[in-house]
Structure 1
Amino acid sequence: MSRIEARRDEDTVAAGPLVDGLLRGLPAEAVLTDPDVTASYANDMASFCPAGSPAVVVLPRTVEQVQHVMRTATELRVPVVPQGARTGLSGGANATDGCIVLSLTRMDRILEISPVDRIAVVEPGVVNADLSRAVGEHGLYYPPDPSSWEQCTIGGNIGTASGGLCCVKYGVTAEYVLGLDVVLADGRLMSTGRRTAKGVAGYDLTRLFVGSEGSLGIVVRAILALRPKPPEQLVLAAEFSSGAAACDAVCRIMAGGHVPSLLELMDRTTVKAVNDLAHMGLPDSTEALLLAAFDTTDPAADLAAVGELCEAAGATQVVPADDAAESEMLLKARRLSLVALEAVKGTTMIDDVCVPRSRLGELIDGVERIAEKHGLTIGVVAHAGDGNTHPTVCFDAQDPEESRRARESFDEIMALGLELGGTITGEHGVGVLKKEWLARELGPVGLEMQRAVKQVFDPLNILNPGKLF
């Protein structure tokens, strides 16, 4: 018998008691064991992240079923990898060999929307866009809007502390999670936080779980803060002959006390990719495109003021929208950015470095140097208002040498971000992709404390092992 065949036999034997145990508390249709099916749950959307082969995929519909999964996993010492829609970009949802993949996509109910308390209570599998549309019918607004909002789930958003285009004004997911129900590694159910506007009772365990990437517990219910639905936003597009000038405009806008609902930047590489894909007619001379939006009571006046600041910073053209339709047209280029960059070579690595706004120009210039050094196409799109950049490395995954240079450039960009006083991830998380860099950012004492927290919640290390650190 070959070593591979022996390993397969061992996996089959191990899967027996595991599957039997799971079926004692789950319906048969919720327990998937076909290797072709389970393989389709092995990884998220990140490149360069190893993924193992799950022993089984489970799709619970109730809290009690999740508790049963965790009790079974604890009893048999089997790792559990929680998953949402697997739109992540860091390998945080990647399977490990022999694990239980715990897919929460069937727990997709919006349990409550309260216009008085301005909260929504949801299960983790609710899709972000579905929640946004549902609360909109009540005149309310759930601001966090990742670019994958039509696919990504609230549970995944909480796991990675995700952000979106509106963060400059409205903040990120962590600021909207008031309370959680969490199934712990041993199957116990714990509630954190509150549904009130205020609350400071004890340690803030809710914030601890936001961004923990499924390594401390399984979120099965979330209480989310809502805002009144704002007026429709108007958008301005400003073209610049240099990235430095566009970054200067960002600094002028923020220093001037303006609060745009969106402030996005695209470098010349990204503008060219969008032009090549969609033939939008953006001038070839555009080195950087800045998009600003306001959802205030008088957005036209705000756009006029920001337009003057852009011109003072050297904008070659400033185009304010007159209505929502024109605003959406101006935003189309930004929405196409990542698709357009992917079309350049077929594969992308999307970095997630966040730096102080005042150093945004230095990061963009540094990325351009790194691209030239490695002979690669690297486009930068940025949530410029909060300094969160997405340098996107375009490469041919079938070319080993180019793949090697892509990974090296990715690491150099993270190093540059830390050098500029930033962080290795603003909203995508650490997962597998950035484990080494998390250790560098935190330092030995910080890493020791993080591991100690993990030990308290997951002493057997069965929750998403191998991620973060």
Structure 2
Amino acid sequence: MTDLVERLRTGLPAEAVVTDQDVTASYARDMASFCTAGAPAVVVLPRTVEQVQHVMRTATALRVPVVPQGARTGLSGAANASDGCIVLSLVKMDRILEIDTVNRIAVVEPGVVNAVLSRAVAEKGLYYPPDPSSWEQCTIGGNIGTGSGGLCCVKYGVTAEYVLGLDVVLADGRLLRTGRRTAKGVAGYDLTRLFVGSEGSLGIVVKAVLALKPTPPRQLALGAEFPSTAAACDAICAIMEAGHVPSLLELMDRTTIHAVNEMANMGLPESTEALLLAAFDTADPAADLAAVGELCAAAGATTVVPAEDAAESELLLQARRLSLPAMERITGTTMIDDVAVPRSKLIAMLDGVAAIAARYDLVIGVCAHAGDGNTHPVVCFDAGDPDATRRARESFDEIMALGLELGGTITGEHGVGVLKKDWLARELGPVGVELQRGVKQVFDPLGLLNPGKLF
């Protein structure tokens, strides 16, 4: 420990090396439940690429594991410390280095907060679409590490589609540059995409070149109430089959609606079984909403309420943004699942989750990025009750099994981390796991980067 700290301090400012155990303990985990976390030996907060390289060279020389971290808003345990590790927090590397309006790119350090980047490019008439629900806190480096998504994914896609190039410090301290600044390029293997979603297990992202889009028109939204989740899912399928491209298509079940009302007194219709929120940022959003409203009515919607302006739209969408914090208030502890299924299987997923909730006598609410089939079942339980904790864990596993059975995936945007690594093996199969471990071995032969995650 003494040797490690002394070596780190030779290449880092004194304030960038933290050994106080009360402080280092606060860096031990992210926001996921049911994920083990160890006690880090030291936390380092570098500000430059050279300082990150020094950390990795020191770690390699002493064979000390390194756990990279952003804002620790993740929900899979991917940022959790292991015993005796170096926690490498990148939050101090928070500069926007460049916004290029001609080539429509931004060059940023990993600690830049998503919302800060979004506002900065908006001032230039540009738009960075990925918008995780934690966008006011989460960092671009963390978004890249987990391959995160958000509400806009149905139209604009996920983080991976906006990462053009990366600077990455490898396990041995070498600096790798991947990708490009150009609109297209196919030179060699796509190492950039390989790092997206790798959860810090292959290298430390220290700079990213991100694609931007022109700022779209202000979106308008509607809310549609349904007497059953089946009717809401029919509407979702009809909307997508008709060729509509909403900027947002979100679903909240009755349990979630009730929780949001309890938290924020929003007056949402608690008698409804499902609330569908749709939005368009097209040249004529009112016309698009009218067409979607007709499809909702045809599918059985009891009420369709289109917003007349941006303020009304924001009020509708605020309900969806409050879903997760509202569910957390029910029992104080939640497990947030992240299963994506084909859109045509959404009703089977929702019905299956309801059956699991009844079988385990638990409150499980579902909100979903319905346009891309990404469901977020939220399991509520009392962490102080061992039996409730057991039932929550078992229900969580059943939900993931259901997702795979329906042709889906165990994670659409939260990542694998500690929470789902056993399930990753089931999804990939033995050949897939073998090849992915082989990739890990090439980049990190000593196994120092984020050990215990993914595999």
Letter in structure 2 aligned against 1:159:
G
Q: Which residue of 2 aligns with 1:112?
A: 98
Gapped runs of 5+ residues in structure 2?
Answer: none
1:429 aligns with 2:420: no
Q: Which residue of 1 aligns with 2:16?
A: 30
Superimposed CA distance per residue, residues 306-349 of structure 1 (whole angstroms, 9 cap, x where no aligned partner): 00000000000000000000001111211111111001111100
Q: Which residue of 1 aligns with 2:370?
A: 384
Contact residue 365 and residue 378 of structure 2 kept, 8 A: yes
* 1:205-220 equivalence runs, <5 A: 205-220=191-206
Q: Which residue of 1 aligns with 2:266?
A: 280
1:312 aligns with 2:298: yes
Shift, 1:284, TM fit: 2.6
Superimposed CA distance per residue, residues 13-56 of structure 1 (whole angstroms, 9 cap, x where no aligned partner): xx111001101100110000000000000000000000000000
- Cα distance in 2 for partners of 1:417, 1:125 equals 33
Q: Which residue of 2 aligns with 1:444?
A: 430
2:83 aligned residue (71, 80, 97): 97
1:295 aligns with 2:281: yes
3-state SS in 2 of match to 1:180: strand
Shift, 1:81, TM fit: 0.1
1:369 aligned residue (330, 334, 355): 355
Contact residue 164 and residue 209 of structure 2 kept, 8 A: yes
1:166 aligns with 2:137: no
2:213 aligned residue (227, 234, 244): 227
* 1:113-152 equivalence runs, <5 A: 113-152=99-138
TM-score (norm 2): 1.00
- Cα distance in 2 for partners of 1:272, 1:24 equals 55
Contact residue 257 and residue 269 of structure 2 kept, 8 A: no
3-state SS in 1 of match to 2:76: coil
1:255 aligned residue (236, 241, 246): 241
Contact residue 131 and residue 150 of structure 2 kept, 8 A: yes
- Cα distance in 2 for partners of 1:329, 1:161 equals 28
Q: Which residue of 2 aligns with 1:3?
A: none
Q: Which residue of 1 aligns with 2:443?
A: 457
Report the RMSD for the aligned CA atoms in angstroms.
Answer: 0.4
Letter in structure 2 aligned against 1:141:
Y
Q: Which residue of 2 aligns with 1:7?
A: none
Superimposed CA distance per residue, residues 326-375 of structure 1 (whole angstroms, 9 cap, x where no aligned partner): 00111121111111100111110000000000000100000000000000
- Cα distance in 1 for partners of 2:388, 2:270 equals 27
3-state SS in 1 of match to 2:339: coil
Total equivalences in the alignment: 455
Shift, 1:283, TM fit: 2.2
- Cα distance in 1 for partners of 2:209, 2:390 equals 43
1:53 aligns with 2:39: yes
Superimposed CA distance per residue, residues 278-320 of structure 1 (whole angstroms, 9 cap, x where no aligned partner): 2222223210000000000000000000000000000000000
Q: Which residue of 2 aligns with 1:175?
A: 161
- Cα distance in 1 for partners of 2:206, 2:349 equals 39
- Cα distance in 2 for partners of 1:33, 1:369 equals 48
Letter in structure 2 aligned against 1:420:
L
- Cα distance in 2 for partners of 1:279, 1:88 equals 28
1:395 aligns with 2:381: yes
* 1:48-87 equivalence runs, <5 A: 48-87=34-73
2:188 aligned residue (174, 192, 202): 202
- Cα distance in 2 for partners of 1:352, 1:187 equals 34
Superimposed CA distance per residue, residues 75-127 of structure 1 (whole angstroms, 9 cap, x where no aligned partner): 00000000000000000000000000000000000000000000000000000
Letter in structure 2 aligned against 1:103:
S
Letter in structure 2 aligned against 1:219:
V
1:406 aligned residue (372, 392, 399): 392
- Cα distance in 1 for partners of 2:309, 2:400 equals 39
Letter in structure 2 aligned against 1:364:
L
1:348 aligns with 2:334: yes
- Cα distance in 1 for partners of 2:412, 2:127 equals 23
- Cα distance in 1 for partners of 2:19, 2:266 equals 47
Contact residue 28 and residue 38 of structure 2 kept, 8 A: yes
Q: Which residue of 2 aligns with 1:336?
A: 322
3-state SS in 2 of match to 1:315: coil
Contact residue 67 and residue 85 of structure 2 kept, 8 A: yes
Contact residue 128 and residue 211 of structure 2 kept, 8 A: yes
Gapped runs of 5+ residues in structure 1?
Answer: 1-14
- Cα distance in 2 for partners of 1:38, 1:279 equals 39
- Cα distance in 1 for partners of 2:270, 2:449 equals 50
- Cα distance in 2 for partners of 1:27, 1:282 equals 52
Q: Which runs of 4+ in 1 moved over 6 A?
A: none
Letter in structure 1 aligned against 2:380:
C
Shift, 1:249, TM fit: 0.4
Q: Which residue of 2 aligns with 1:264?
A: 250
3-state SS in 1 of match to 2:35: coil
TM-score (norm 1): 0.97
